[in-house]
């Protein structure tokens, strides 16, 4: 048997095995949130919640549809990505429902139950996930739209500045209102930016890797090659200045620097990128009151606790993590609702820290880490340079968002107002992240799919016929 035939045989055997593994993991990914849902109901009302059956059936149906589509249209894809995303999404709905039961939040005039909406947004996210796998047969097609993706990303990032369309929510202009729904365009812009950066760096990486001089142990790029990074830096600063959105600005610039480093393997780009990020943030904070308030809340949250809403929020968040200890207070037994209106969105990870403790925080970070690891592995397995850069770009954006949000609510970095992927309340976030997982699954399927066996040459056939 030839090596190519052997590879094809292994692939044919391995695909059903991977899908069976995915199905088994999906069962656990659905059962764990149902168990958590029951725990919350028992802790708060001393009875199993009446909506548990409907919640379980809804989550199970969504997971089942996603699994069938992957089994049919991406049989060789990584078997862990879908179960991990389903587990996070399911637990996120439980956390939101737990905060819906808070009497403090229910007394607010703006209160609306978030869990039913989040389940609906999750269904839309799964629908987009299915659409990606059905329509995107080959991720390399996206390379044709490199510069169109750049234009689309810029349009999405600038939409919140359009009068009558954009909304200013607590100082940040990152939302638009369409037909009564609030949409955060930046969540979708990160995917378009990953397409653009992948296509651009695949062509320009050799020029960007060239060094002109050495300074303090670093090989510095040529002056004319600094143009792209300076342009991206300037655009990220404009977003920070006009939209006062520190999170999107950091994500935008950080994504480019990560992909630039992977494409060129030059450590100098990381050093330059970090320096420019710090310089830009400090410069904007000196004249932007919103950014300055976030920085002050980070430096001394209890010093301005009574005077600033930003300080009160981060102070309550830090106390929630502190009161959780190692094992937490238990599902439904915390007081993270004291954070207020953003408890189920920007600060939902604080509920994890208080009610599940350090053990729960590490468990969630481990799940996120596994998704990131599978994304990096997909990048390494991709056979084409565009796929390698695209997969690492999507994974890098996902990882950066987790670091920015988790670091902000824990007081490690200034708070940015971004949402924790799959956990936090918000339609834009969960829909965009399901699309991101769908693209990673498509790249993974292409990378793991066995190469077709080469057609036998005419000479070999003649030799077999003539041989006595």
Give the pLDDT score at 86.
96
CA distances from 312 to 8, 46, 119, 349, 448 (A): 60, 32, 30, 16, 49
Last residue of a domain, one of 230, 256, 287: 287
The residues with which 178 forms a beta bridge, in sequence order, are 181
Give the pLDDT score at 387.
93
125 and 64 in a single domain? The answer is yes
Give the pLDDT score at 421.
92
**Residue bearing the bigger pLDDT, 38 or 107:** 38
- Look-up of token digits 């070999």: 460
User: For 201-216, what is the mean pLDDT?
Assistant: 68
pLDDT at 220 over 50: yes
pLDDT at 377 over 80: yes
What domain range includes position 164? Answer: 142-287
Cα gap 111→53, rounded to integer Å = 25
Largest CA distance in the chain: 97
Residue 458 counted as domain residue: no
Beta strand spans in 190-340 (E):
211-215, 218-221
Q: How many helices (H) and strands (E) does the chain have?
A: 17, 5
Residue 468 counted as domain residue: no
Cα gap 283→279, rounded to integer Å = 6
Give the pLDDT score at 176.
80
Cα gap 8→440, rounded to integer Å = 22
Give the pLDDT score at 209.
66
209: three-class secondary structure by DSSP: helix
Listed range (44-53, 122-131, 163-172, 336-345) with the worst mean pLDDT: 163-172
* 153 membership: H or E segment, kind and range: helix 146-158
353 and 381 in a single domain? The answer is yes
User: For 215-235, what is the mean pLDDT?
Assistant: 64
pLDDT for 17-34, tens place per residue?
Answer: 777 888 899 999 999 999
Cβ neighbours around 303 below 10 Å, total = 13
Cα gap 123→166, rounded to integer Å = 26
Last residue of a domain, one of 261, 287, 313: 287
Residue 455 counted as domain residue: no
123 and 148 in a single domain? The answer is no
Last residue of a domain, one of 239, 262, 287: 287
**Residue bearing the bigger pLDDT, 10 or 181:** 181
pLDDT for 79-96, tens place per residue?
Answer: 999 999 999 999 999 999
| CB 353 within 8 Å of CB 364 | no
pLDDT grade for 2, boundaries at 50, 70 and 90: very low
Listed range (2-16, 172-186, 416-430) with the worst mean pLDDT: 2-16
pLDDT grade for 382, boundaries at 50, 70 and 90: very high
Cα gap 401→131, rounded to integer Å = 24
Q: At 467, phi and psi to the nearest 5?
A: -60, 130
382 and 404 in a single domain? The answer is yes
pLDDT grade for 121, boundaries at 50, 70 and 90: very high
Cα angle 52-57-20, degrees, rounded to a multiple of 5 = 125
228 and 340 in a single domain? The answer is no
Give the pLDDT score at 394.
95
Residue 63's Cα: distance from chain center in Å?
Answer: 19
User: For 161-180, what is the mean pLDDT?
Assistant: 72
**Residue bearing the bigger pLDDT, 106 or 385:** 385
User: For 195-215, what is the mean pLDDT?
Assistant: 74
Give the pLDDT score at 5.
40
208 and 190 in a single domain? The answer is yes
319 and 340 in a single domain? The answer is yes
pLDDT at 464 over 50: yes
User: For 166-171, what is the mean pLDDT?
Assistant: 66
| Number of structural domains the chain divides into | 2
Residue 295 counted as domain residue: no
Residue 461 counted as domain residue: no
Write b or e for each residue in 158-183: b if 16 or more Cβ atoms lie within 10 A of its Cβ, otherwise e. Answer: bbbeeeeebeeeebbbbbbeeeeeeb
Rounded to the nearest integer, the mean pLDDT of the chain is 82
pLDDT at 329 over 50: yes
212 and 331 in a single domain? The answer is no
51 and 130 in a single domain? The answer is yes
pTM beyond 0.85, yes or no: yes
Give the pLDDT score at 1.
42
pLDDT at 454 over 70: no
Reading the block at residue 447, the tokens are 């990378």
pLDDT at 290 over 90: no
Q: What percent of the chain has pLDDT over 90?
A: 40
Cα angle 410-377-385, degrees, rounded to a multiple of 5 = 115
150 and 103 in a single domain? The answer is no
Cα gap 336→364, rounded to integer Å = 17
113 and 218 in a single domain? The answer is no
Which residues are CB-contacts of 206 (< 8 A; sequence separation ≥ 6)? none
Residue 463 counted as domain residue: no
User: For 36-53, what is the mean pLDDT?
Assistant: 90
Cα gap 149→192, rounded to integer Å = 5
pLDDT for 248-265, tens place per residue?
Answer: 777 877 888 888 888 877
Cα gap 468→464, rounded to integer Å = 8
Residue 466 counted as domain residue: no
Residue 344 counted as domain residue: yes
401 and 334 in a single domain? The answer is yes
Residue 306's Cα: distance from chain center in Å?
Answer: 34
């Amino acid at each position: 048997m030839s090596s190519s035939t052997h590879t094809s045989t292994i692939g044919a055997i391995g695909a059903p095995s991977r899908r069976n593994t995915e199905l088994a993991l999906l069962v656990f990914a659905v059962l764990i949130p149902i168990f958590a849902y029951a725990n919350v109901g028992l802790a708060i009302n001393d009875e199993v919640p009446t909506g548990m059956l409907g919640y379980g059936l809804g989550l199970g149906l969504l997971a089942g549809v996603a699994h069938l589509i992957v089994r049919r249209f991406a049989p060789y894809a990584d078997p862990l990505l879908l179960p991990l995303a389903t587990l996070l999404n399911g637990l996120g709905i439980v956390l939101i429902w737990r905060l819906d039961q808070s009497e403090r939040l229910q007394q607010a005039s703006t209160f609306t139950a978030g869990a039913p909406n989040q389940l609906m947004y999750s269904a839309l996210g799964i629908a987009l996930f299915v659409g990606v796998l059905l329509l995107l047969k080959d991720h390399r097609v996206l390379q044709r739209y490199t510069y169109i993706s750049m234009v689309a990303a810029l349009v999405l990032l600038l939409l919140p500045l359009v009068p009558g369309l954009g909304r200013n929510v607590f100082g940040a202009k990152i939302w638009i209102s369409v037909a009564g729904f609030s949409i955060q365009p930046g969540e979708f812009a990160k995917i378009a930016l990953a397409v653009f950066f992948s296509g651009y760096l695949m062509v320009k990486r050799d020029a960007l890797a060239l060094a002109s001089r050495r300074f303090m142990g670093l090989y510095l790029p040529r002056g004319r090659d600094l143009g792209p990074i300076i342009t991206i830096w300037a655009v990220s600063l404009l977003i920070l200045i006009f939209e006062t959105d520190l999170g999107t600005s950091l994500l935008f610039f950080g994504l480019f620097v990560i992909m630039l480093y992977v494409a060129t393997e030059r450590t100098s780009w990381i050093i330059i990128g970090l320096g420019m990020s710090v310089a830009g943030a400090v410069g904007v904070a000196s004249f932007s009151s919103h950014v300055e308030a976030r920085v002050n809340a980070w430096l001394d949250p209890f010093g301005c606790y009574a005077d600033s809403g930003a300080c009160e929020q981060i102070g309550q968040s830090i106390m929630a993590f502190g009161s959780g200890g190692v094992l937490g207070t238990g599902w439904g037994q915390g007081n993270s609702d004291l954070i207020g209106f953003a408890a189920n969105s920007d600060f939902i990870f604080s509920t994890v820290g208080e009610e599940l403790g350090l053990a729960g925080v590490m468990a969630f970070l481990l799940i996120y880490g596994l998704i990131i690891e599978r994304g990096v592995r997909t990048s390494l397995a991709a056979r084409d340079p565009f796929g390698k850069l695209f997969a690492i770009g999507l994974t890098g954006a996902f990882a950066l968002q987790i670091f920015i949000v988790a670091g902000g609510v824990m007081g490690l970095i200034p708070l940015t107002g971004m949402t924790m992927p799959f956990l936090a309340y918000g339609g834009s976030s969960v829909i965009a992240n399901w699309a991101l997982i769908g693209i990673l699954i498509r790249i993974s399927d292409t990378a793991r799919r066995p190469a077709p066996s080469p057609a036998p040459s005419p000479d070999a056939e003649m030799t077999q016929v003539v041989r006595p």
